[in-house]
Amino acid sequence: MILIHQFETTYSAPEGDEDYCSEGESMETMHEPVTFRELVDLMREHAHPSCSPASGAPFEWLSTEPEQDYRTGEWTERTLHFSRANPPHAARYWRLAMKAAGLIR
């Protein structure tokens, strides 16, 4: 089992003619161990690595495409992180899962 963190960050809609979103409010939505297969599935949903090219290092996180709530204009982004509470040897499974998800070679 690999411990992961999932965060959901919501950005309020720009006011007036502003082109940028304000600071977002972040909330942890999951902090639990997952199986390797579940991790690969989550990585396929969060298919955008935090750096390019991704290397599969445990400090890299993955995110989804931002989604807009058309009723409120808010944008929501979800991110997936490797937990530092994992034992050191678990870092190799993060890299292997990124490989299995097709995010790295």
What per-residue confidence (pLDDT) applies to 73?
Answer: 81
Q: 98: how many CB neighbours lie within 10 A of its CB?
A: 23
Rounded to 5°, the CA angle 9-61-82 comes to 105
What the block records as the tokens of 85 is 């509470």
> Which residue ranges make up each domain of the chain?
2-10+27-100
Rounded to 5°, the CA angle 65-12-60 comes to 40
Beta-bridge partners for 49: 62
Beta-bridge partners for 33: 3
Whole-structure pTM value: 0.81
What per-residue confidence (pLDDT) applies to 96?
Answer: 96
DSSP assignments along 19-88, one per residue: -S--PPEEEEEEEEEE-HHHHHHHHHHS-EESSSS----TT--EEPPPEE-TTT--EEEEEEEE-TTS-G
Q: How does pLDDT run along the chain (105 residues), one tens digit per residue?
A: 999 999 988 888 777 655 555 666 667 676 889 999 999 999 999 999 999 888 989 999 999 998 888 888 888 899 999 999 999 999 999 999 999 999 998
What per-residue confidence (pLDDT) applies to 70?
Answer: 87
